Amino acid sequence: MDKPISITAIASISPLGKSLADTWTNYQTDSHFIKEKKFKNDPVLVAEIPKEAKQDIELLRQSDSKYKSLDNTVLYAIYASRQAVRDAGWKNTDNFGINIGSSRGATHLFETYHEDFLKNNKAKTLSSPTTTLGNISSWVAHDLQTKGPNISHSITCSTALHAVLNGIAWINSGMCRSFLVGGSEAPLTGFTIAQMQALKIYAKDTNDYPCKALDLNKTQNTMVLGEGASMACLESGRKENALAIINGMGYATEILEHNISISSDAKCFQKSMQMALGGMNPEAVDAIVMHAPGTIKGDQSEYKAIETLFKTKMPALTSNKWKIGHTFGASGMLSIELAILMLQHQTFINVPYLDNEHQPTTLNHILVNAVGFGGNAVSILLSKK
């Protein structure tokens, strides 16, 4: 990258909690946040936001009559965005840009409205605006009272990292000085989970670690859905209040043989990681926060891509999906949050059921990966301030 980009704030609401302090505390334990929940009387493994966070979301919903008809996807985004903008010290008069995405969008509302339509052969008045993907960034802009550009998009599970790419492009073009970027997802609904189960990628076993992300020896798929939102504030240059610096970004899309899989050696990741590194020696990368969804093929293909690029000098590898599940469109930004916390605290967060041969003593450069259905890979290179 010709111009570095500073991340001056990051905030989230997830199964780990509703503050960076809570999130970091929970990352330092070997416990996960995956539990059983019943959907139509069938127990399913999911990772929910904690009770205190749910109470905050309900207070937010009741705080404005217009918010009562919004999906949790939008409310999670508003909640995390308020925190991020406050921590960055931005004002609404700054007219910063907003790019927030979601893989599935308003899943709960859509299913509720559709069920009502099947019963009554009529659609509710607000069923259209409240279930469109563009409903997220526009509501966040309304809540923050900023008049800058606002964009919503869906690029499945790499949505949040594509938002980062977009924010960087807008800033570097000179069209906007700062951008709020991220992803939000509230996919814990019966139909959404049924879709994943139909693909035969969902976890079934309630063992010590139901989601075995990054376990390359597992014999069955173990993906689990989680919920949450994460937002970051991007500004041009190296800012004094930066949490981390974006020194590289990469992206790639590969031609697929199947609509849900990538190549066995994840050529899209090879290209995105190489692009993100630019002229940097791969050996300078201390760690990679992998996408690693907990599926057999998904984990193995990304690992092979890393092996191909880094050869014998492998960085330390980690993922957070064993702990909080796969939050679809929000997952990439939650991975960036993990990377930033590791850089700040100079502590590598391991996957407890794996023997990691590469435990870095210092952390200066961390790669973050995400990929979605359609082979849309993104890699972001974060460096210590």
| Pairing mode, strands 376-383 and 365-372 | antiparallel
In this structure, are residues 321 and 294 in contact, taking their beta carbons and an 8 Å threshold? yes
In this structure, are residues 232 and 181 in contact, taking their beta carbons and an 8 Å threshold? yes
In this structure, are residues 315 and 177 in contact, taking their beta carbons and an 8 Å threshold? no
DSSP per-residue letters across 240-257: TT-SEEEEEEEEEE---S
Per-residue pLDDT of the chain (385 residues; tens, 9 = 90+): 778 999 999 999 999 999 999 999 999 999 999 999 999 889 999 999 999 999 999 999 999 999 999 999 999 999 999 999 999 999 999 999 999 999 999 999 999 999 999 999 999 998 988 988 768 999 999 999 999 999 999 999 999 999 999 999 999 999 999 999 999 999 999 999 999 999 999 999 998 999 999 999 999 999 999 999 999 999 999 999 999 999 999 999 987 666 556 788 899 999 999 999 999 999 999 999 999 999 999 999 999 999 999 998 899 999 999 999 999 999 999 999 999 999 999 999 999 999 876 789 899 999 999 999 878 999 999 999 8
**pLDDT, mean over the chain:** 95
Domain extent listing, the chain:
5-236, 245-383
Quick one: CATH architecture of 5-236?
Answer: 3-Layer(aba) Sandwich (3.40)
Q: What is the DSSP letter of 89?
A: T
The residues pairing with 132 across neighbouring beta strands, listed in sequence order, are: none
Quick check: pTM over 0.75?
yes
Please say whether the structural domain 245-383 has been given the CATH code 3.40.980.10.
no
In 124-277, which ranges are continuous DSSP H helix?
135-144, 159-173, 190-198, 267-277
Domains 5-236 and 245-383 share a fold: yes
